[in-house]
Amino acid sequence: MDKALPSAGPGEVVVALRATTINNHDLINLAGGYRGLPLPRIPFSDGCGEVVDVGNAVSGLRRGDRVIVQFFPNWQAGPPTAAALSTVRGDHVEGCLQTHLRARADAVFKAPDHLSDAEAAALGCSGLTAWRSLVVEGCLKPGQVVVVQGSGGVSTCAISIAHALGARVIATSSSNDKLLQARALGADATVNYREQPDWAKAVLKLTEGRGADHIIEVGGPDTFAQSLRALSLGGHLSVIGALTGTHGTDLSPRAIMAKNATVKGITVGSREHLQDFCRMVASTGMRPRIARSFVWTDADAALACMREQRHFGKLALAITD
């Protein structure tokens, strides 16, 4: 759809977008999974680009700055609130599948210099979700064991974060090729859950019966019970997805109680979390894994690739005027 180039109002900036990356959230959005959203709307929450216009009463940003677009524009700091989570980029307000985005200045953040546009865009949802899971909520410490399920954006970022912070990483996948890539990214051990359906038993063996301190749970009903089995006493289980569905989970309150487990639902993070995450990315040189890049006009092909789930890392779209 064609529209006039926006100009920045008070407290706003205009960003010439250069890249966006795709999240599972975007697939659900485009499939009509979130009811009551305004139409028409521009999808995709992730974005990175250059500030080209700055409104009055904006400090800390100027033309030429490269910025990341925030997933929750209204979540600045503190714990999540209904108000903070009520507005999502690409759902309730314009998303990033466009050349120019007008946004509040406090809803974008300067990108780490060493990252490409696509890599920087990937920090906004997948990267920040992994960061909040492991560091903000999980208080990850060096030497702890982290189990990462799958090979999508959150999972690959979690491998990189945990490895950079000195944790021991166990990655699971149904693909030996993806497990090789996980090792190259920083995983210390791997489990093919197709070859070892009882992957929790494999994790316990790898940890000499102790279990994992942290588990990034993306599967949902088909993996939740095993995640609890694989968790250590007092371990932290971050629920960030339900790729196998939303019903039928064998949820055992007794198992949670017996493990003294913390089970935490994670929905991305705040601007304050993003600031801390970007500081860590800049200091360690970490890079989100980009599996493949498309031209933004080939968004349908990129979405089809996303649905196939054969990639390792993030799928990106390069945006040009």
Model pLDDT for residues 245-297, shown as the tens digit of each residue: 555 556 678 889 999 999 999 999 999 999 999 999 999 999 999 999 999 99
Amino acid (one-letter) located at 307: R
Nearest C-alpha neighbor of 238 from the set 310, 154, 123: 154
- Is the same domain home to 153 and 53? no
Query: Any idea what DSSP says for residue 106?
Result: G
Tell me the whole-structure pTM to 2 decimals. 0.94
The sign of the CA dihedral 178, 18, 117, 274 is negative
277 belongs to a structural domain: no
Report yes or no: 269 and 128 within 8 Å, Cβ to Cβ. Answer: yes
What is residue 287's predicted lDDT score, i.e. its pLDDT? 97
CA angle 8, 10, 16 (to 5 degrees): 20
CATH code, 302: 3.90.180.10
Quick one: 43 and 64 in the same domain? yes
242 pLDDT higher than 70: no
Same domain, 148 and 252: yes
Exposed e or buried b for every residue in 96-113, given b needs 16+ CB within 10 A? bbbebbbbbbbbbbbbbe
Distance from C-alpha of 107 to C-alpha of 181, rounded to nearest angstrom: 34
Q: Are residues 136 and 255 part of one domain?
A: yes
Whether 103 and 36 share a structural domain: yes
Give me the number of domains the chain comprises: 2
- Same domain membership, residue 166 and residue 98: no
Q: What is the pLDDT of residue 148?
A: 98
Residue 270 forms part of a structural domain: no
Q: Is residue 211 part of a domain?
A: yes
Which tens digits make up the pLDDT trace of 166-182? 999 999 999 999 999 99
DSSP 137: I
Residues 139 and 256 in one domain: yes
Q: Is residue 158 part of a domain?
A: yes
**How many whole angstroms from its chain centre is CA 281?**
14
Q: Is 105 part of a structural domain of the chain?
A: yes
Domain that includes residue 23, residue range: 12-122+288-318
Q: Tokens 């000499």 map to which residue?
A: 208
Report pLDDT for 1. Answer: 64
Same domain for 194 and 74: no
138 and 249 in one domain? Answer: yes
- Are 143 and 231 part of one and the same domain? yes
What's the mean pLDDT when you consider all of the chain? 94
Question: What CATH number should be reported for the domain holding residue 238?
Answer: 3.40.50.720
Q: Assess whether 164 and 249 both reside in one domain.
A: yes
Closest CA to 225 of 259, 188, 273: 259
Q: Identify the helix (H) or strand (E) that includes residue 15.
A: strand 12-21
